[in-house]
């Protein structure tokens, strides 16, 4: 059966918009290493990109559900949801380690997100998840009634309406939905003033503690890099496999603006790294590492200066760690 080649909607996933997303993904990841003070601003900008894309997608869907081909919606959801997919390997890792906080990569992020941003981002994630469920349960099956094929990505070229492909995606997003419910449960417990669950005691040296925190931070970062690369490749391959036309040009303001915003964000990261402002030395955007430490192979600062996410009840010369 022939591919459903068509002219794409460049206003939703044109080249400039895609490049803007990619640059912000990688910029946000590497900013935590090179310019932590820029990380929160990048996260906020990316959140606005996702919110704007999601609002436009909902408006188009409500106005005319057939205004976008299913594969176009699939591409837009990849762009919006790409950053969230890193939660899947992270929480699978947490399950493999029996939810042991000692091995939790999210316990010590390189830059701690603000509480307001984290809560708003969670609400946005839930909204996009609800749309994902509608898309896979109701929109994709409509391809069974057309006489051409649309293709998605599962580390290979596969029909978008393939039953196994639909089931895999539903399971993935169901798992993410459970993650959201778990996070909400933790927030409710904290708001109610309930004590956090404690596990077995661990006696750990200060040197070991610092090395362990850095190991978890590196693990979290590399997971995000691998997921971002995978989603980038998937998006570009899906566009090519489906013969979508007129979505690979920067020759319009709607494409150059998001591209330049993403490019400027990345340039800003390396500018701040190579030409640091002394006034920012004491405000590293919630990072575990000081400005000088970033420039000296990211040597951690004293454990006594770690934020509240550090393990409780740390004492010298040996430290008892409660999970």
Q: What would the pLDDT profile of 171-197 be if each residue is shown by its tens digit?
A: 988 988 888 888 888 788 887 777 665
pLDDT bucket at 74, cuts 50 / 70 / 90:
very high
Q: Is the pTM of this model over 0.85?
A: no
**Spatial CA neighbour of 286 closest among 163, 152, 113, 130:** 113
Which of 71-80, 103-112, 276-285 comes out lowest in average pLDDT?
Answer: 276-285
Q: Are strands 201-205 and 318-322 parallel, antiparallel or unpaired?
A: antiparallel
| Whether pLDDT at 82 is above 70 | yes
What percent of the chain is modeled with pLDDT above 70?
80
Residue 103: is its pLDDT beyond 50? yes
Alpha-helix residue ranges (DSSP H) falling in the chain: 10-13, 15-34, 39-63, 70-81, 87-96, 115-134, 163-191, 206-241, 253-274, 291-295
Read off the pLDDT band of 203 (50, 70, 90). Answer: low
Q: Which residues contact 80 (CB under 8 A, 6 or more apart)?
A: 50, 53, 54, 57, 128
The pLDDT of 43-59, averaged and rounded, is: 87
Report the C-alpha gap between 264 and 273 in whole angstroms.
Answer: 14
pLDDT for 132 equals 92
Q: Looking at residues 49-60, what average pLDDT do you find? A: 90
Contact 248/10 with Cβ under 8 angstroms?
A: no
- Give the whole-angstrom CA distance, residue 74 versus residue 144: 16
For residue 282, what pLDDT is reported?
44
Cis peptide upstream of residue 190 (ω within 30 degrees of 0): no
Provide φ and ψ at 104, rounded to 5°. Answer: -85, 115
pLDDT digits over 269-312, tens only? 888 888 876 544 444 455 444 444 443 334 333 333 333 333 33
State the average pLDDT over residues 3-27.
89
Structure tokens given for 281: 């030395």
Peptide bond into 194 cis (omega under 30): no
Q: What is the pLDDT of residue 309?
A: 39
Report the DSSP pairing between strands 151-153 and 201-205: unpaired
User: Which residue is listed with tokens 């400039």?
Assistant: 16
Average pLDDT, the chain: 78
First to last CA, the chain: 55
pLDDT for 297 equals 37
Counting residues of the chain whose pLDDT is more than 90, the rounded percentage is 24
């Amino acid at each position: 059966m022939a591919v459903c080649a068509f002219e794409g909607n460049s206003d939703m996933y044109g080249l400039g918009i895609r490049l803007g997303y990619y640059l912000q993904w990688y910029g946000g990841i590497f900013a935590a290493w090179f310019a932590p003070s820029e990380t929160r601003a990048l996260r906020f900008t990316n959140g606005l990109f996702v919110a704007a894309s999601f609002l436009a997608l909902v408006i188009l869907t409500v106005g005319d559900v057939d205004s976008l081909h299913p594969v176009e919606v699939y591409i837009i959801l990849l762009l919006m949801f790409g950053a969230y997919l890193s939660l899947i390997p992270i929480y699978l890792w947490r399950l493999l380690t029996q939810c042991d906080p000692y091995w939790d990569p999210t316990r010590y992020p390189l830059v701690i997100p603000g509480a307001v941003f984290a809560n708003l981002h969670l609400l946005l994630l839930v909204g996009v998840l609800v749309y994902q469920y509608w898309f896979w349960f109701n929109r994709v099956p409509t391809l069974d009634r057309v006489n051409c094929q649309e293709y998605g990505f599962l580390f290979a070229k596969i029909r978008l309406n393939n039953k196994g492909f639909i089931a895999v995606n539903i399971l993935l997003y169901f798992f993410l939905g459970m993650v959201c419910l778990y996070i909400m449960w933790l927030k409710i417990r904290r708001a109610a003033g309930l004590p956090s669950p404690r596990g077995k005691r661990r006696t750990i040296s200060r040197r070991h503690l610092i090395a362990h925190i850095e190991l978890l931070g590196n693990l979290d970062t590399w997971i995000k890099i691998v997921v971002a690369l995978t989603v980038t490749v998937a998006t570009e391959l899906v566009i090519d496999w489906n013969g979508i036309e007129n979505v690979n040009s920067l020759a319009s303001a709607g494409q150059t603006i998001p591209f330049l915003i993403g490019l400027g964000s990345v340039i800003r990261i390396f500018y701040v790294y190579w030409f640091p402002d002394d006034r920012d030395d004491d405000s590293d955007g919630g990072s575990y590492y000081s400005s000088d430490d970033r420039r000296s192979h990211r040597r951690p600062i004293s454990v006594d200066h770690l934020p509240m996410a550090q393990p409780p009840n740390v004492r010298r010369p040996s430290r008892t760690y409660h999970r």
